[in-house]
């Protein structure tokens, strides 16, 4: 087996068939398998996955419900993988034609690779505008610390995954950022696979968008505390909290909040900063 595609999932009955359908259409000359690591679904996720076992002969479904979180599920999937390299994608996205071959070929040359994410196909236009991403993006090279790779379109040699002990199961969000930073801290440089495209799905309601922003902010504080000894600069400041607190009501008073897009952006920014403050308190990471 040359390649193992690992999909962590939890209650993904509305989306997983789209991803498995896309994987069933992938073509590559080398042996490959698909591993569904179920994190304790209570809906029809597992049954839907089982219905694809004839179309994906090397599909296996493993129970990854002992601990919550994508990190644990990915590690469980990796523990049974037979591939020389591991490729991670998510149950709520859709890999584009040629994705598997592009990732497989890249992993024959590089130890850590990341593909490209497309944002328009699976999301309503207002959601794309809320996040402000370009239509297609890949590895974020210009991060102040180290490049960012996304766990929904990520490939790594299995030996390297094992060498760092896999994903940190105590990190329940941004675990992919932590994972790739730990790899890069060993001196491994990531390679961007421009032909490996995944159609990415955002959270689709204002509440879910803001909830994620809050949680991201909280775990950013944890990542700073964890990676500070390796040289990560502190990016959270008291000034940013004060600025957000002042600007949030001003946006309404100055009529900057005009529609669903600007309302969501304002609420998301506030939730993100509140999450950062919560994380600073929870993890003992004081902002400068």
For residue 129, being part of any structural domain is answered with yes
pLDDT in tens, 46-95: 999 999 999 998 999 999 999 999 999 999 999 999 999 999 999 999 99
Q: From 155, 180, 199, give the residue that closes a domain.
A: 199
- How many domains are there within the chain? 2
Q: From 199, 224, 255, give the residue that closes a domain.
A: 199
**Rounded to two decimals, what is the model's pTM?**
0.94
Residue 116 sits in the same domain as residue 244: no
Indicate the DSSP class of residue 69: S
Residue 98 sits in the same domain as residue 181: yes
Q: From 138, 166, 199, give the residue that closes a domain.
A: 199
For residue 221, being part of any structural domain is answered with yes
Question: Cα separation of 183 and 250, whole Å?
Answer: 42
For residue 24, being part of any structural domain is answered with yes
Residue 124 sits in the same domain as residue 257: no
Q: What is the pLDDT of residue 185?
A: 97
For residue 288, being part of any structural domain is answered with no
Tell me which residues of the chain have a pLDDT lower than 50. none
Residue 16 sits in the same domain as residue 83: yes
Residue 186 sits in the same domain as residue 210: no
Residue 214 sits in the same domain as residue 150: no
- CATH number of the domain where residue 21 is located: 3.90.550.10
CA atoms within 13 A on the CB side of 202: 25
Q: Which domain holds residue 240?
A: 206-283
Q: What is the pLDDT of residue 1?
A: 67
Q: What is the pLDDT of residue 92?
A: 97
How far is residue 185 from each of residues 33, 164, 170, 180, 287, measured CA to CA in Å? Answer: 29, 11, 19, 9, 24
Percent of the chain with pLDDT over 90: 88
């Amino acid at each position: 087996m040359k390649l193992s595609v690992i999909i962590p999932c939890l209650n993904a009955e509305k989306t997983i068939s789209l991803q498995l359908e896309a994987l069933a259409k992938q073509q590559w000359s080398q042996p490959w398998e698909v591993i569904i690591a179920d994190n304790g679904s209570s809906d029809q996720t597992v049954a839907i996955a089982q219905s694809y076992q004839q179309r994906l002969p090397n599909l296996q479904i493993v129970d990854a419900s002992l601990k919550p979180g994508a990190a644990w599920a990915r590690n469980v999937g990796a523990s049974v993988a037979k591939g020389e390299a591991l490729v991670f994608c998510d149950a709520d996205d859709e890999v584009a034609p040629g994705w598997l071959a592009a990732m497989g070929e890249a992993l024959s040359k590089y130890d850590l690779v990341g593909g490209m994410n497309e944002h328009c196909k699976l999301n309503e236009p207002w959601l794309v505008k809320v996040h402000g991403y370009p239509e297609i993006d890949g590895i974020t090279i210009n991060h102040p610390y180290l490049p960012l790779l996304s766990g929904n379109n990520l490939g790594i040699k299995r030996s390297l995954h094992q060498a760092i002990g896999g994903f940190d199961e105590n990190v329940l969000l941004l675990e992919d950022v932590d994972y790739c930073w730990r790899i890069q801290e060993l001196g491994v440089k990531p390679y961007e696979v421009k032909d490996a495209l995944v159609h990415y799905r955002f959270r689709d309601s204002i509440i879910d968008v803001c909830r994620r922003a809050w949680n991201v902010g909280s775990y950013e504080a944890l990542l700073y505390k964890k990676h500070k000894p390796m040289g990560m600069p502190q990016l959270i400041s008291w000034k940013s909290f004060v600025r957000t607190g002042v600007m949030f009501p001003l946006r309404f008073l100055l009529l900057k909040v005009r529609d669903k897009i600007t309302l969501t952006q304002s609420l998301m920014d506030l939730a993100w900063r509140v999450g950062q403050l919560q994380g600073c308190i929870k993890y003992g990471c004081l902002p400068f």
